[in-house]
Structures are given as C-alpha cells and as structure tokens.
Chain A
Amino acid sequence: MKAYINGISYYLPKSILDNVQLSNQFPEWSIDKISEKTGIYKRHISEDNEYSSDMGINVIEQFLIEYNVNKEEIDFLLFCTQSPDYLLPTTACLIQDKVGFKKTCGALDFNLGCSGYIYGLGLAKGLVETDQARNVLLVTSETYSKFIHKRDKSNRTIFGDAATATLITSEPKRNHYKFSIGNFAYGTDGSGYDKLIIKNSGVKHKCITSSDLLDEEGNFISNDDYIFMDGKEIFNFTAFEVPPLIERLLKVNGITLDDVSMHIFHQANEYMLNFIRKRCKIPEVRFFISLNDIGNTVSSTIPIALRRYLDNLKLEINHKILLAGFGVGLSLGGVIINLE
C-alpha cells in the first residue's frame, strides 16, 4: 500500500506586520536593506486571542470545503505545533471535538518546528501504509509571534504565523495532485537544543521569570521568557548538515539531483536558502522560494510553498519534488514526493 498527498490548504491570520510598521518602531533598524537580503517584506500575525487551535480549526474547515471532503472520512489527526493551547491536554483532542471529527478518530500533537512537516508526512505515511488509518489529516499551526519579545527586532522581522492542512490517504482518488510519498531521510543534533529555545517554557524552568538582557547601548539581546535564536549556530547547522541530508535522501530514493524537478526547502530566509542551494549544487530554476509576503512560518513554510508551486504548474508525469526541513531541535528531515 502507498500513501498519497491529497491536497493542501493554508490559512494566514488577517493582521499584517509590514516593514513600515517595523521601521516606525525601530527607526535605527535598516529594514529595507535587511528585507532585500532576507526576502521578507510582510508577516501575518495572529490576534491576541487567536491560538494555534483556532488557526488549525480554520484551516481544516477551509480544507474540507476546498476539497469537498466529508469530515467523517478523517480517521487520524496529526497536529504539529510548538505553541499548543495547553501543556495538557493535547490540542489535537480539542480540535477533534470542535471540528466534529468522529470519536473513532485518532489524534495527537507532536512538537517540532521547521522540520515538522517532513516528520508529519513520515508519521502519516506510516499510519497509512500499515493500514492503521486511511485518511490522515496533517495540520501545522504555529504562533511564534506570541513568543517573540516586542523589542526583539531580529525575530520580529523574520517570523510570521500560519497554519496548513494536508490530507494523506491510501488511495489517490479525488485529488488533483496524485503525489505518492517516497522515502525519507532524517537527522537530529540535540547538542544544539539551546540555539533556538524559549528557556522558561516547560516544566524545567516553570517558576522562573526573567528580565531583559541588554547590550552596552541598551539594545535588546534576550529574555529567557521569550524566543532566543542563535542565528549563527542555526546557519552553521544548516550549512553543514543539509547538503549531506540531501545526498542521503537521493540515495535512499535511488535517484540523482538531475531527476528532481523542483526542490522546496524550509523557507527560513532568502539569503540562507540561496546559500544552501549553491552548497547543494541545485540550479536556481529548480529551486522554489516563496516567503516575501509571509516570512518564516516555521512548520508551515514547506506546505505553503508546495501549494503555491502546484497552483502555478502544469504537472508532467514523473514530476519529482524534493522537500527538506531544518531548524529548532536541532532537527532536519527530507522526503521525495512523486507524481504518478
């Protein structure tokens, strides 16, 4: 039995944070120059009372209408988030009830960021190919904006909020993509756990609250209650770990780079993407970038980019797309999807 991708929908919150607003808040910040390099000009930001469950429900309802899917058909919900409504219960359980999925539906959350979509596809494929489920809905939903300190101009420039829904099924019926899910390659380096972290966010530092750490000129550096990202270390991890991941991925799928029609990587920022593309020796024409109006939406970047790519494409037989995600954890993964 094979597993197929049967459609992707995405949801973007209504509020937009653009460069003019950022420039007004941080007059010393050369935002236009930075945007030219990162390729990010706008980000969508969730409302104060809009949480990952709300965005997840929105995108699921949109998906069911867009692809004319009956919610009774869904027999497993995988929910990828690092901003759950609660530590417990599982956000996927709340969503099952609110959307009205049947009570025989399995549901779980998993905590991954920029590599999450790849791991979600891997879990969904496992459920389908072992006949544990026929129709798995993989939902990514992230509200990093709620974790970013208002004075943290770097991260506010990069990250945006979004949610996506992808249906993975045992049969390619009803879909207009007909992409089977090929083999995966994964990777982990937990020694870099503190390179992208919210230190005071779980049980270990539960009762600790921190104050702002500033540099000599009074600029914000970090606060352990909010997201901290060591950009240089994340950059190095990506630079040195992604090229061997791509090599392993091609090998386990028995193909070469020339066999891949399009490469869609986690949309971190345009500069880093082009840097990695060159290191992986991927031609520019076979490398898709789409983030200028949404920023880095964490686990949602790959499905959003994939949907946008497919929306503007006349598909050919044997169209192979390489997907790769990398980031917080530190974690990475990739998969080949094949048009059949």
Chain B
Amino acid sequence: MEPNVFLENFKKQFIDGDKLEIAMKTEFRQIESYDSLTGMTIIVMIKDEYNVDITDNEYKSQKSINDLFNLIQSKLKT
C-alpha cells in the first residue's frame, strides 16, 4: 500500500479533486470542499481499493489523511 497512490485515490473523492493541493498530513475535514457526502465516498473507496471496512466511529476519530492511511494499514495486517 503506497501513500502516494492512497493520496491520489483520496483526492479523487473530492468534487474539486484535480485542483486540490493536499498532503498526507492534511487534516481532511478542514478542506473547504469536504462534507459528509465526501466522507461517504471516501469510505466506499477504501472498501473498493483495499477491501477494508471502516466503521463510523473509527472514521470520526481520524484527523489527517495519514491517520486514515495508518488505520487501513493496521487493519490489513490483522
């Protein structure tokens, strides 16, 4: 699982994804175009691309893109 690939997949879920300048350390809820619908598509993307289920509570406690990446990695190892 490559951070750069994850970041690209993450950006694609935003309505303005092709213009977004974000990094793994970005706190994604602070991105202007982020809303609850974007959150839903991010969770679907994680299921599609990595076959990992993220619960609501797990998702809510992640702040940065890197936090989310680490959560997926930890779930892939178990």
Nearest Cβ distance between residue A235 and chain B, in whole angstroms?
Answer: 5
Q: Is B40 an interface residue (CB 8 A)?
A: yes
The CB with the most chain A CB atoms within 10 A, among B36, B40, B44, B56, is that of B40
Q: Does chain A have a CB within 8 A of B20? A: no
With A37-B15, A37-B37, A239-B44 known, 18 other A-B pairs at CB within 8 A are A33-B35, A37-B35, A231-B36, A231-B40, A232-B36, A232-B40, A232-B56, A235-B37, A235-B40, A235-B44, A236-B40, A236-B44, A239-B40, A240-B44, A271-B15, A271-B37, A272-B37, A275-B41
Tell me which residues across on chain A come within 8 A of B43, comparing CB atoms. 236
What's the nearest-Cβ distance from chain B to residue A200, in Å?
A: 25
Top 9 A-B pairs ranked by shortest CB distance? A235-B40, A239-B44, A271-B37, A232-B40, A275-B41, A37-B37, A236-B44, A37-B15, A37-B35
Q: Which residues of B, 5-25, contact A by the 8 Å Cβ criterion? A: 15
Q: How far is the CB of A1 from chain B (nearest CB, A)?
A: 43
Instruction: Provide a sorted-by-A list of 23 A–B residue pairs whose CB atoms are within 8 angstroms.
Output: A33-B35, A37-B15, A37-B35, A37-B37, A231-B36, A231-B40, A232-B36, A232-B40, A232-B56, A235-B37, A235-B40, A235-B44, A236-B40, A236-B43, A236-B44, A239-B40, A239-B44, A240-B44, A240-B47, A271-B15, A271-B37, A272-B37, A275-B41
Interface string of A256-271 (1 = CB under 8 A from B): 0000000000000001
| B59 closest partner in A (C-beta) | A232
Closest to B39 in A: A232
Cα distance, A232 to B42, chains bound together (Å): 12
**Assembly CA distance A272 to B43 (angstroms):** 14
A271: B residues at CB distance < 8 A: 15, 37
A301 → B minimal CB distance (Å): 19
Chain A residues 262-289 with CB under 8 Å of chain B are: 271-272, 275
Please name all residues of chain A whose beta carbon is closer than 8 Å to the beta carbon of B44 when the two chains form the complex: 235-236, 239-240
Q: Bound state CA distance, A236 and B45, in angstroms?
A: 11
Q: Which residues on A sit within 8 Å (CB–CB) of B56?
A: 232
A-B contact count (CB 8 A): 23
A271 to B44 CA separation, bound complex (whole angstroms): 14
> Please, how many angstroms separate the alpha-carbon atoms of A231 and B36 in the complex?
10
Q: How far is the CB of B12 from chain A (nearest CB, A)?
A: 10
Chain A minimum-CB-distance residue to B35: A37
Interface string of B35-62 (1 = CB under 8 A from A): 1110011011001000000001000000
Q: Which of A13-49 contact B (CB under 8 A)?
A: 33, 37
When distances are taken between beta carbons in the complex, the residues of chain A under 8 Å from B35 are 33, 37
Cβ of B40: which chain A residues have Cβ within 8 Å of it? 231-232, 235-236, 239
Docked Cα-Cα span, A37 to B35, in Å, equals 10
- Alpha-carbon gap, A275 to B47, bound state (A): 15
How far does the alpha carbon of A239 sit from the alpha carbon of B47 in the complex, in Å? Answer: 11
CA distance A231 to B44 in the complex (A): 14
Q: Chain A nearest CB: distance from B5 CB in Å? A: 18
* List of A residues within 8 angstroms of B41 by Cβ: 275
CB distance from A268 to the nearest CB of B (A): 11
Closest Cβ of chain B to A283, distance in Å, is 18
Q: Which residues of B contact A231 (CB under 8 A)?
A: 36, 40
Assembly CA distance A172 to B40 (angstroms): 44
> Which A-chain residue is minimally distant from B45 (CB atoms)?
A239
Q: How far is the CB of B62 from chain A (nearest CB, A)?
A: 16
Closest to A269 in B: B37
Q: In the complex, which residue of chain A has the Cβ closest to the Cβ of B56?
A: A232
- Chain B min CB distance to A17 (Å): 21
Q: Roughly how many angstroms separate A231 CA and B38 CA in the complex, as a whole number?
A: 12
> Could you tell me the distance between the alpha carbons of A207 and B35 in the complex, rounded to whole angstroms?
38
Contacts of A275 in B (CB 8 A): 41
CA distance A232 to B47 in the complex (A): 14
- Docked Cα-Cα span, A272 to B44, in Å, equals 12
Tell me the minimal C-beta distance from A33 to chain B in angstroms. Answer: 8
Residues of chain B contacted by A272 (CB below 8 angstroms) = 37
